[in-house]
Amino acid sequence: MSSWGLAQAPRAKKVTVYRNGDPFFPGRQLVVSPRRFLTFEALLAEVTASVGASVAVRSLYTPRHGHRVAALGDLQDRRQYVAAGFEKFKKLDYFRHGKTEPCGTRPSEGLRVSPCACIDTSNIGSSHALGCSSCSVFRNGDLLTPPFLVPLSQGAPWDELLASLSERATLRSGTVTRLCRLDGTPVSCEEELLPGGYYVAVGNEEYKELPYLELLVPRD
């Protein structure tokens, strides 16, 4: 049974997730909806990939008091949480990673995407230049080429976005027919793309599950 419960279908929630014990991690925003996540375990699997955790995420905690989240219904819209494995929650000032706030973020609010000067257009092809309103796209099966940035909130139809990806990705199979998350799950619209997230452009071939993030994105 879905852990959302049998009441009315809840609306999607936007939450920001930090890595337990990492004061320099800027946080990753996730859109949590009943259509995307049927169970709390499915959400934890997505969080593991999104935050680049070295071990599987097994728990989510509130960042200030370390209260453990037990179910999808316990998540609150535009709030922050800390992802942890089996280790204990580590109380840190997650909102001021490296004494710098994420773009458009306040401690009392969730991570909000806003136009700002955090996109370095001179490094638009670099895997390390992540904009506050961009996501990074890998090429399916390519572990030699860094990802490229894709601006979000452009309002273009999905098929036009895929056409633009086809021109930039230059896949061997030709046209980009779908965009997948790192676990291979297809994305169906631009609203599902998360700022700072990582995705894979796929053509007519099957999605190739490879360590794109580990091999192509350098860590600070």
CB atoms within 10 A of CB 145: 13
Q: Could you tell me the end-to-end alpha-carbon distance of the chain, in angstroms, rounded to an integer? A: 41
Residue 67 CA to residue 210 CA, distance in Å, equals 34
44 pLDDT tier (thresholds 50, 70, 90): very high
The residue with greater pLDDT, 167 or 4, is 167
Contact 143/216 with Cβ under 8 angstroms?
yes
Residue 59 has pLDDT above 90, yes or no: yes
Q: What is the pLDDT of residue 37?
A: 87
115 pLDDT tier (thresholds 50, 70, 90): very low
Residue 57 CA to residue 44 CA, distance in Å, equals 6
Please state the rounded mean pLDDT for residues 58-66.
92
Q: What is the pLDDT of residue 108?
A: 34
Please state the rounded mean pLDDT for residues 169-192.
89
pTM: 0.45
Residue 110 has pLDDT above 80, yes or no: no
* Structure confidence by residue, pLDDT tens digits, 116-160: 333 333 333 333 333 447 889 999 998 888 898 888 866 778 888
Helix or strand holding residue 136 (H, E): strand 134-139
Q: Which of 49, 53, 101, 98 is nearest to 80 (CA)?
A: 101
Q: What is the pLDDT of residue 196?
A: 86
Residue 7 has pLDDT above 80, yes or no: no
Residue 112 has pLDDT above 80, yes or no: no
Check residue 12 and report its DSSP letter. P
Q: Which residues contact 143 (CB under 8 A, 6 or more apart)?
A: 210, 211, 212, 215, 216
CA 147-127-123 angle, 5° bins: 110
Q: What is the pLDDT of residue 116?
A: 33
* Domains by residue range for the chain, with CATH: 13-84 (3.10.20.230), 134-216 (3.10.20.230)
Average pLDDT, rounded, for the chain: 78
Residue 92 has pLDDT above 90, yes or no: no
